[in-house]
Amino acid sequence: MSRIIPLIVGAVLFCFSAASYALPAQLPLSKDLTVRLSALSAQGELQTVAEVVARTDALGKIAFDFSTVPSSATTPFLHIRIMDGENVLRQAIVPSPQPGGTVDAGVSEVTDLQARALLKATALSGRLTPVHMLVAHTLLRTPTISTTDAEAIGSAIVAGADALFAVLATDGLSSEQHAAFLGSLRNGLADAAGIYRKSVDDSIVFDQNVEAYRRGEAYAVLLQSLIDAGIDAGINLETVSTAFAAAGAATEATLESNLAVGAVARAGMRLGYVTGMLSLSNYRSIRELVAGFRHAGFSPPRFSRLHSVFDLVWQDTTTSLKAADRDLLASSSENDLQGLRIQEFNAAARRDVQMLKLALESYDLRTIPESVELMLEITSRMAGQGGVMAGMTPEHLMEILGRSTSASPESPPVPVDVPTLTPYELAAWAYIHTEPGFAYTPIAGLIDQLESKPTAPPQFDKLAEPYKSLALLTYDLILISRLYWQEQQNAETALEANQTDPPRWHPLATIRQISENNRQRLALARRHISGVSPEAKDALIYLVHANRFVRF
């Protein structure tokens, strides 16, 4: 396998330099090659900016410099090609730098495949955006895919990008929000491009895994930037997750009807989406919880132990993505379809373990003095309101909420002298007195959709506002979570009854539909909240969303 390692460093005022390395099997030795830098428009139009001639050495290494690099003020993207005559040996497409900024990117076998697919997609649609680049980076994650297969997936990239945009459009985004989303995602692509450079800088001839680990790290950065893009644009993160799942479903449907792409190549591309969706769910959960805690005034050092677990799960998710790209390389290199399918289940299992760790840690934190003191503070404040809440104690509040004596899917028993809520709920209940105008109207008919219903609802009439509304919101979110879980369980049953050979994880269309259903229910819950800001609505939903640690 060859490796080309360009280091593209744009200094201020667009000075540009690069160094490229490759194994002699792929680049000719001691030969002059042309390196062409082009501006690439949002419509896919290429305009050559500069060319330099550089000579490979006896090891197949090549170095080159450009004195001028266009900025984003004149072109959204840059196209870099290393050529032998008119034969393109390697290429990459990267976002252009901000005015006065720098560009740092790598050109490798994988970036070459991504660029080839993107150019085909742009030729079909007449459009190139950061979203199209995101889809291409998700599908093409290994150098073992042939150029023929890569160039055959242009329609899948277009379908994926269109599906993602379609979900975002349902949120009624303003032009400013749309621009903020694309701008933030563009920054993530630029960061990922820098890690691609490291992937080939760090590569070892006799160990391809080193480069694969870096590619996985670049993918992690790109997924994290997708979360950032949603936050920067003011888009609810369940919409971002659903949009990414919709892109996956659309690409899978397009690829399955495209016999020009080999079965192993299709499985590798699908695996990129499976690992991406599972990892995105982790990143999203953590960012939502951190945001909820921050809004409620519970940033570190408050609940610092839990925030440390957030960091641990975040890092472990990135580590898992690095390992996933290593495993993808191994199975793809061996043309192992079954191995690729097994990796889908392994990715789901890793995600389960990560979320189990977070859930167990959250449960364990009920016993720490900080949680006990906060529970006593909350119930003392409630008692101080008098009326139906006069004499409120932790035990009485837990009894009102139906959590006092026996285990249930919503809340296991609390084996401490002073029973407490979860850390997330404690933050919400401690915060809610600062929002006296908060009100929540229950969603009619939620419980009727459940196949297995809770034994009894909380005793809402024993609570005064705003605590009564918070309990009502919590209960509806419990029902929404159970509906989400019910749909996942039904999908598991359908998967077992209609399994492929070799077996694979859920069809991506199934994940997209379940995600969309959950998104609609959460949007409905938001609409039933009144008297608080949109930020407060989000924080409360993030903190009291029970059973949130589910698979996707």
Read off the pLDDT of residues 66-75 as tens digits, 9 standing for 90 and up.
888 999 999 9
Return d(Cα 510, Cα 368) in angstroms, integer: 40
Structure tokens at 97: 């730098």
Of the candidate ranges 36-40, 99-103, 221-225, 316-320, the one whose mean pLDDT is the lowest: 99-103
What is the number of other CB atoms lying within 10 angstroms of the CB of residue 457?
A: 16
Helix%, strand%, coil% for the chain, nearest 5: 60, 10, 30
Given pLDDT bands bounded at 50, 70 and 90, which one contains residue 150?
Answer: very high
pLDDT at 198 over 90: no
Across residues 56-62, what is the average pLDDT? 69
Which token pair is 228? 């950032």
The pLDDT score that the predictor gives to residue 121 is 98
Residue 3, pLDDT above cutoff 70: no
| pLDDT at res. 13 | 29
What local confidence, expressed as pLDDT, does residue 409 receive? 44
Rounded Cα gap, residues 299 and 21, in angstroms? 46
Tens of pLDDT, residue by residue over 400-448, are 999 864 444 445 555 457 899 999 999 999 999 999 999 999 999 999 9
Whether the pLDDT of residue 11 is over 60: the answer is: no
Residues written for the chain: 552
Dist. CA 483–CA 485, nearest whole Å: 5
User: To the nearest whole percent, how much of the chain has pLDDT over 90?
Assistant: 76
Please compute the mean of the pLDDT values over residues 200-224 and round it to a whole number. 84
Q: How far is it, in rounded angstroms, from Cα 275 to Cα 222?
A: 13
CB 165 within 8 A of CB 81: no
pLDDT of residue 203: 63
Could you give the 3-state DSSP secondary structure of residue 214?
Answer: helix
Are 122 and 132 in contact by the 8 Å Cβ rule? The answer is yes
Nearest to 382 by CA among 399, 370, 369, 396: 396
CA distance 185 to 131: 8
What whole-number distance in Å separates Cα of residue 39 and Cα of residue 420?
60
Q: How far does the chain reach from its first CA to its final CA, in angstroms?
A: 35
Joined together, the tokens standing for residue 548 give: 């949130």
The pLDDT, as a whole number, for residue 202 is 72
pTM: 0.91
- Per-residue pLDDT of 15-28, as tens digits, reads 333 333 333 346 68
| CB hemisphere CA count around 31 (13 angstroms) | 13
The token pair that represents 484 in the structure block: 């989400």
CA gap 199, 497 in Å, rounded? 41
pLDDT at 386 over 80: yes
Q: In the 8-state DSSP scheme, what is residue 97?
A: P
Mean pLDDT of 113-128: 98
The angle that helices 209-233 and 237-256 make with each other, rounded to 10 degrees, is 130
Q: Which residue has the higher pLDDT, 297 or 12?
A: 297
| CB-CB contact of 177 with 158 (8 Å) | no
Return the ∠ at Cα 228 (arms to 226 and 231), rounded to 5°: 115
Q: Who's near 505: CB < 8 A, 6+ residues apart?
A: 274, 341, 344, 345, 347, 348, 495
The rounded distance, in Å, linking the Cα atoms of 248 and 157 is 10
Nearest CA to 247 among 221, 280, 224?
Answer: 280
Share of the chain above pLDDT 70, in %: 90
Average pLDDT over residues 45-60: 86
What pLDDT is attached to residue 547? 54
Q: Quick one: pLDDT at residue 363?
A: 83
pLDDT at 549 over 80: no
User: Which of these ranges, 57-61, 67-71, 100-104, 310-314, has the smallest mean pLDDT?
Assistant: 57-61
The answer to whether residue 206 scores a pLDDT higher than 70 is: no
Per-residue confidence (pLDDT) for residue 1, from 0 to 100:
34
- Sheet-wide strand order for 15-21: 9-11, 15-21, 61-66
pLDDT band for 369, please (50, 70, 90 cuts).
Answer: very high
